[in-house]
Amino acid sequence: MEKHKKILEYAISSLLRRTYRNLAVIVVFSFMVAVLSSVLFLTHSFKVEALNVLSDAPELIVQRISGGRHDLIPADYMKKIKEIFGVGEVIPRFWGYYYDRMTDSNYTLMGIDKNMRGLELLDGRMPTDSGECAIGKGVSDVRSAGIGGKMYLINSRGRVIAFKVVGVFTSGSNILTNDLVLLTKDSVKTFFGMPSGMATDIIVEVNNDYEEPFVISKIKELLPDTRPIMKREIIRTYDTVFSWRSGMILIMFFGALTAFCILAWDKATGLSDGERQEIGILKAIGWETSDILELKFWEGIVISLTSFLSGLILAYVHVFFFGASVFSPVLKGWSVLFPQFRLMPYISLYQVFIILFFTVVPYVASTIIPSWRAAITEPDSVMRG
Amino acid sequence: MDSVIKTYDIAKVFNPGMPDQIKAVTDISIEIERGGITVLKGPSGSGKTSLLSLIGCMSRPTSGRIIVNGKDVAKLPERFLTGIRRSTFGFVFQHFNLISGISVIENIMLPLYPSDIKLSSIRKRVESIMENLGISGKKDFSVQRLSGGEQQRVAIARSLINEPEVILADEPTAHLDSKLSEDLKDIFVTLQKEGKTIIIATHDPIIHEGGFAGRVIEMRDGMVKEVTVE
């Protein structure tokens, strides 16, 4: 133990002797880790956030498609769907998007029903009357509207409607907390001017999950202008989209990654005369080849772990404190989210391990291998100066 | 004679079979007396450094046998030679070969880093050696800031830290003036009195003349020309 401690101390003092050179490597290395980690942190957080939004979403939603776009669905479709074998409850939903010019934010106005899962009231209650609303914590903060306050919204006929805030809720998902406004179903219908007998979409409960594909095909057969959407399909789509986008960035970054690997290899394989001489001296005064390798191992570990941790911290700050300002436009795509929200710091240990494996291990190896080549040669050359 | 080292017909050829082949040492058979001072004398290129390197297990002979304390080391693999170097030899190099950028005391402690001896014990041992060599006031200095004579003493201190039986010095006075060379001789005499075997390769008359060495081996063209016993 004492031996390893002394070799580690010597490794650190060796690194400090070549401060500028090692600092340059640490800067480049940290930057590379920071970029890689930022992309992976960001996509992982988006995926987790999307999963949180969807975790309490219905397993099957039926929308009506008109001209290739989502349209209001006639409520009498519910009767036909209900008759399909294996279908449980069928519930209409009433919701719509609302752009709030005051706060430059996009809200989802939704009619409350008994299926509102995953929302936790922080204060007050859910709306029961047409002039009432409950809002997410984020909306409450942006609008500075608490219990007893008013939410002024402009309806489809251009009239300002005041809703009394009777409840403030939170959720496992930041997106829901920041964009959801709950009204009674009738309020939503009136506000958006929905014709009677129409809903935004329909929730379908299927008694047995395995029967979902069968129910979907029956719905499509009975009601050809509908689009049944399974929750797991949405999750898979999110997953694919974010993986594809992060993949695109990583491919673009591949050039920089290759450049770094070349730099690291060049730095490591190109032992300077001074370093070669030092290895010879150490061998001549009694260091074993294994001692030299341990020295170089510690040097590699100190450099690469310092860079790795710095890069990780940089990425964490970049993604979770500055909203990943460099990459988020590419990763979010055109669907910009309003209001702005801070991503919850979800980190996958598996991804951290992958970054560690693909950065620290090659660097340490590229440090040890050339030193090993120098260390196994006879130290005679040292005698000759 | 009680010999610490014996060589039998050792030869060292660099780049054998190549157009630039060099025969550095040819068929040398010598004995090194335990506890004595032996000087390898000869002009530049006579094979002194190569012989010193072979004796000190820093390189292996192309042919012949080298016996160190009764053990043939000529064909031992590198990993065993390292152990013998560490336990038997202390080296003083021509160009000092100190590690720049670290302090005097760290340079001297360096041979004992890969051991389980506690740093505090090593430090005590180093301080005692530095005291004997008159450099105790320089322990925290960076080696680049020392004079040639001081650097030589640091190199000697480093060679002694392992408490070796044999000190090998290659042209130790090459970078010293005559006064410092005389001082160095005194250090070697003191070490000999402490029971060390000293082998010095040099072409400096201050060292090989005047009865300082018990045995002078004169070399030329990689061969032993004459052995003088004082």
pLDDT in tens, A265-275: 666 556 777 78
pLDDT of residue A265: 65
Residues A68 and A44 in one domain: no
Give whole-number Cα distances, A364 to A20, A42, A293, A297, in Å: 19, 28, 11, 6
Mean pLDDT of B78-95: 86
- Residue B169 pairs in a beta bridge with B92, B200
Residues A205 and A339 in one domain: no
CB–CB contacts below 8 A, A to B: 88
Residues A253 and A175 in one domain: no
Q: Report chain A residues whose CB lies below 8 A from the CB of B78.
A: 289, 376, 378
Question: Is A285 within 8 Å of B158 when comparing Cβ atoms?
Answer: yes
Helix-, strand-, coil-residue percentages of chain A, each rounded to 5: 55, 20, 25
Q: Report chain B residues whose CB lies below 8 A from the CB of A292.
A: none
B111 in any annotated domain: no
Q: Report chain B residues whose CB lies below 8 A from the CB of A277.
A: 97
Split at pLDDT 50, 70, 90, the class of A207 is: confident
Q: Report chain A residues whose CB lies below 8 A from the CB of B82.
A: 283, 286-289
pLDDT of residue B9: 93
B104 in any annotated domain: no
**Nearest C-alpha in B relative to A380:** B58
Question: Is A285 within 8 Å of B110 when comparing Cβ atoms?
Answer: yes
Residues A79 and A31 in one domain: no
**Nearest C-alpha in B relative to A289:** B79
CA distance B78 to B65: 16
B84 in any annotated domain: yes
Question: Is B58 within 8 Å of A379 when comparing Cβ atoms?
Answer: yes
B93, B100, B114 member nearest A383 (Cβ): B93
B8 in any annotated domain: yes
State pLDDT tens for residues A36-55. Answer: 888 888 878 777 777 776 66
Contacts of B222 (CB under 8 A, 6+ apart): B12, B23, B24, B25, B26, B28, B46, B47, B50
- Domain stop point among A199, A229, A259: A229
- Tell me, what amino acid is at B12? K
Split at pLDDT 50, 70, 90, the class of A116 is: low
B108 in any annotated domain: no
Q: Which residue has tokens 């506890």?
A: B35
Q: Report chain B residues whose CB lies below 8 A from the CB of A380.
A: 53, 58-59
Q: Of A248, A343, A324, which Cα lies nearest the Cα of A53?
A: A343
Do you know the residue count of chain A?
385
Tell me the residues of B at the A interface, defined by beta carbons under 8 Å apart.
49, 52-53, 56, 58-60, 78-79, 82-83, 85-86, 91, 93-95, 97, 99-102, 106, 110-111, 113-119, 158-159, 162, 170
Contacts of A266 (CB under 8 A, 6+ apart): none
Residue A324 in this model has a pLDDT that exceeds 90: no
B165 in any annotated domain: yes
User: In whole numbers, what is the pLDDT of chain A averaged over residues?
Assistant: 81
The number of distinct structural domains making up chain A is: 2
Question: Is B114 within 8 Å of A281 when comparing Cβ atoms?
Answer: no
Mean pLDDT of A197-221: 88
Residue ranges making up the domain that contains B12: 3-96+160-229
Question: Is B113 within 8 Å of A7 when comparing Cβ atoms?
Answer: yes
The number of distinct structural domains making up chain B is: 1
Question: Is A287 within 8 Å of B115 when comparing Cβ atoms?
Answer: no
State pLDDT tens for residues B72-83. Answer: 998 888 878 888
Residue ranges making up the domain that contains A24: 2-53+237-383
Q: Of A273, A379, A228, A37, which Cα lies nearest the Cα of B53?
A: A379
Residues A173 and A255 in one domain: no
CA distance A297 to A304: 10
- Tell me which of A384 and A337 has the higher pLDDT: A384
Question: Is A383 within 8 Å of B94 when comparing Cβ atoms?
Answer: yes
B82, B93, B116 member nearest A283 (Cβ): B82
User: What DSSP state is assigned to residue B209?
Assistant: S
State pLDDT tens for residues B118-139. Answer: 888 899 999 988 888 888 888 8
pLDDT of residue A211: 85
Using DSSP bridges, classify how beta strands A132-136 and A160-171 pair: parallel, antiparallel or unpaired: parallel
Q: Report chain A residues whose CB lies below 8 A from the CB of B117.
A: 2
pLDDT of residue A384: 60
B41 in any annotated domain: yes
Q: Of B16, B82, B42, which Cα lies nearest the Cα of B220?
A: B42
Question: Is A385 within 8 Å of B113 when comparing Cβ atoms?
Answer: no
- Domain stop point among A174, A201, A229: A229
Question: Is A284 within 8 Å of B85 when comparing Cβ atoms?
Answer: yes
Residues A299 and A345 in one domain: yes
B78, B91, B114 member nearest A284 (Cβ): B91
Q: How far is B28 from chain A (nearest CA, A)?
A: 18
Contacts of B44 (CB under 8 A, 6+ apart): B203
Q: How far is A364 from chain B (nearest CA, A)?
A: 21
Question: What CATH number corresponds to the domain at position B53?
Answer: 3.40.50.300
**Nearest C-alpha in A relative to B83:** A286
CA distance A34 to A42: 12
Q: Report chain A residues whose CB lies below 8 A from the CB of B79.
A: 288-289
B190 in any annotated domain: yes
Question: Is A385 within 8 Å of B97 when comparing Cβ atoms?
Answer: yes
- Domain stop point among A210, A229, A248: A229
Residue B168 in this model has a pLDDT that exceeds 60: yes
Contacts of A282 (CB under 8 A, 6+ apart): A291, A292, A295, B110
User: In whole numbers, what is the pLDDT of chain B averaged over residues?
Assistant: 88
